[in-house]
Amino acid sequence: MKTATRVMFLLASSIALVGVSTICQEKSDYSTVQQFQETVKTIEVNIDAAKTSQDCAEVSAAIARLEITFSGDRELLDKTLYPDDYGKIIEKVRAKLALRQHDLGTIDMQGARIVELEAKIKELSDQLAKLNVDNEKLMADVKNLSSNIQKLTGNEFNTTTPIDSLRALIVQLRQGLQQRDQLVYALADSLFLQYDKNVGDMKDVEKQTLTGKLERYGILPTVKRSIQDNLAFLESTQLKGTDLVTLVRQQQQFTSQWKGLMPKVSALYATKSGAKGKTGKSSAAESAAIDSLLTTWGNKVDAAMWRSLNQLFKDHGFIVKDFGNGREFVANFSTFIEEQTQNTQQEDKNKRYKFYQNFEDGVWKGEFGVVWLPALVHMQKITSDQKKDIEDRIAVWRASVEPGTNWITYVLILLGAAVAAGIVLWLLRKKSVPPAAAA
Amino acid sequence: MKQILGVVVSLIIFAGCNTLTLAPGDFSWPVESVLKVNSKGIVQDQRYSFSLDVKKLLFAETQDSVDVAKWSLRMIRDTKGYYYITAAKFKNVYVFEQTEAGLKLSKVIFLSAAGIDAPEFNQRPPFIQLLNGNEPPLMLSKDGIQEGGKK
């Protein structure tokens, strides 16, 4: 009996379960459509909110789940979602995700680049700070050593060690200053590169951030300090010759880099919040001070360079009227050569030739012709036409003093030719005699 | 007299030939619409682009045509073009047919004296399926309940 009851109970349970499952299978089409649309909306919101590739991967998995969940309702959704359909909506969501992934890829790349640049900026900034300290110490050392050398007299002065040490220090300091000049512009470039666009295209918030960074890393004060240190270096060292050529080039490069940076800085501060603000005004003042210092530096380094070139001629005993710029140099040096060519002093030809040879060996084939003259053209102090004119004048001077050929030379040449002809004839005659006849 | 009769018959035949009928047609909505009644007693449907004054229906069901804005009607159309309307707490499903600028009541299908809690329509040609929570579904036609309950 009990068994029969159990069987009945199990049967009833089974029927009930089948019934319940049948009931559970019935669902509202409207709810299905609503659920689908809400899931799609949630996915779209998540796509917009995705900030990393991982977020995108999660959304992609959600789309896959959506497809699986609603695949059985495809027919209903196709009818209900008109003018779209199930397939089109899935396709649209996937396309939206792909677009977001592409954008994020670009953003990720830009982000990585910014991080990389930030690291570079930090490194450059640290190097700059270290160089500031090193250069300051070197500058003090150069001043001390220079003053000690000036105190030396007689044999002590001939000792080369202190002078060599000073020279080594100066080279070190000059290299330090040059490195610092390059670093400050590299730092400024890196800061602007982070935004990878013209200042005019930047949003206000980007401009403010960049302005903050320029101020934090003290770009303008460092540029100013660089010029001041270069000026101090120029004044505290008695540089000559090629060293000065290097300095002029350095100053020109610095000026050109500043001309590249200044418009960007000005544009950055020329915003509502910048130009009218305190920082905008102080930046304008700083820029003006830098311009003025650069002019002073340029004038001083130019003056030192021309002085050094004047001195080069004097040291070799050539009296060229003093010059202070390219135009004066060309005029005065041309006059000097012209005087030599024209022999205005009515000097003996041998003496003039010897004088020319001294010029050629000591100056023309030395520092002046090899280093100074090409450098003057490169630095745009003189034109290449003026250089060519100088070279031509020197050639004429040489031709005018070079000893000419005399009659002894001609006799020697004729004698040489006769001997050569005799040898040739003798050899030909020897060849034309048959061996038997010879025997 | 014969002539007059002939003319009348011809006219009748001619008129009959002019009653153009397009059939068969399927007017079913794939899914029900859930329409919120506004304060003026009007429902609007974006998908099928119609609006309907339902104050009389609400009054018929609840004897109240003032507090109408609390109702959300569920509406679906069968293949033949009949409209089925009900709502949560309704005792009936109302079947309407299209008339000029309105709907004309065709049948009232009684469901429960206490009203139904969560009615939902599904299109199940040739019927309209009515779900109500965990209760067994009913299959409706314009004539009444066809399956799953009292006919």
Q: pLDDT per residue over A165-195, tens digit each?
A: 777 778 788 788 888 888 888 888 888 887 7
Q: B interface mutation test: which of A25, A30, A32, A35 has the most B CBs within 10 A?
A: A30
Contacts of B30 in chain A (CB under 8 A): 29, 76, 79-80
Fold of domain A120-302: Delta-Endotoxin; domain 1 (1.20.190)
Q: How many residues does chain A have?
A: 439
The residues, ordered by sequence, that sit 6+ positions from A261 with a Cβ below 8 Å of its Cβ are A185, A188, A219, A223
Per-residue model confidence as pLDDT tens digits over A202-214: 878 788 888 888 8
Among the partner-chain residues A28, A79, A80, the one whose CB lies closest to the CB of B131 is A28
How big is the CA angle at A128 (ends A123 and A129), to the nearest 5 degrees?
100
**SS3 of residue B38 by DSSP:** coil
- Determine which of A83-87, A90-94, A113-117, B56-60 has the lowest per-residue pLDDT on average: A113-117
Cα gap A120→A416, rounded to integer Å: 75
Residue A26 and residue B131: Cβ atoms within 8 Å?
yes
Cα gap A232→B1, rounded to integer Å: 137
pLDDT at A26: 80
Q: Respond yes or no on whether the N-terminal peptide bond of residue A263 is cis (omega within 30° of 0).
A: no
Contact residues of B toward A, CB < 8 A: 30-32, 34, 74, 120-123, 129, 131, 134, 136-137
- Determine which of A9-18, A325-334, B31-40, B74-83 has the lowest per-residue pLDDT on average: A9-18
Mean pLDDT of chain A: 80
Eight-class DSSP state of A125: H
Annotate A48-69 with three-state secondary structure.
HHCCCHHHHHHHHHHHHHHHHH
- The pLDDT of residue A14 is above 70: no
pLDDT at B1: 54
pLDDT at B53: 95
Cα gap A70→A224, rounded to integer Å: 69
Contacts of A28 in chain B (CB under 8 A): 32, 120-122, 131
Cβ atoms B117, B86 nearer than 8 A: no
Q: How confident is the model at residue A94 (pLDDT cuts 50, 70, 90)?
A: very high
Contact residues of A toward B, CB < 8 A: 23, 26-31, 33, 76, 79-80
pLDDT at A406: 52
Gap from B2 CA to chain A (nearest CA, Å): 58
**SS3 of residue A404 by DSSP:** coil
- The pLDDT of residue A23 is above 50: no
Which residue on chain A is closest to B74 by alpha carbon?
A30
pLDDT at B65: 78
Mean pLDDT of A370-381: 88
Cβ atoms B75, B85 nearer than 8 A: yes
Per-residue model confidence as pLDDT tens digits over A251-260: 888 898 898 8
| Sheet of strand B102-110: strand arrangement | B33-36, B72-77, B83-86, B92-99, B102-110
Domain chopping of chain A, boundaries? 120-302, 316-401, 408-438
A421/B146: higher pLDDT: B146
A158/A303: higher pLDDT: A303
ipTM: 0.81
pLDDT at A352: 87
- Determine which of A190-194, A310-314, A410-414, B54-58 has the lowest per-residue pLDDT on average: A410-414
pLDDT at A141: 82
A282/A354: higher pLDDT: A354
Mean pLDDT of A320-346: 90
Cβ atoms B128, B122 nearer than 8 A: yes
Gap from A86 CA to chain B (nearest CA, Å): 14
Gap from B118 CA to chain A (nearest CA, Å): 11
Residue A79 and residue B31: Cβ atoms within 8 Å?
yes
pLDDT at A166: 74
pLDDT at A190: 82
Per-residue model confidence as pLDDT tens digits over B109-138: 999 999 999 999 999 999 999 999 989 999
A96/A343: higher pLDDT: A96
User: Residues of chain B with pLDDT > 90: what percent?
Assistant: 76
Residue A79 and residue B30: Cβ atoms within 8 Å?
yes
Of A319, A322, A392, the C-alpha closest to A358 is A319
- The pLDDT of residue A15 is above 50: no
Gap from A3 CA to chain B (nearest CA, Å): 32
Residue B30 and residue A26: Cβ atoms within 8 Å?
no
Among the partner-chain residues A23, A28, A79, the one whose CB lies closest to the CB of B120 is A28
- Determine which of A138-147, A331-340, A354-363, B27-36 has the lowest per-residue pLDDT on average: A138-147
- The pLDDT of residue A333 is above 80: yes
Q: B83-86 and B72-77: which strand pairing?
A: antiparallel
- Determine which of A162-166, A298-302, A337-341, B20-24 has the lowest per-residue pLDDT on average: A162-166
Q: How confident is the model at residue A37 (pLDDT cuts 50, 70, 90)?
A: very high
Give the A:B interface size as CB pairs under 8 Å. 32
Residue A28 and residue B30: Cβ atoms within 8 Å?
no
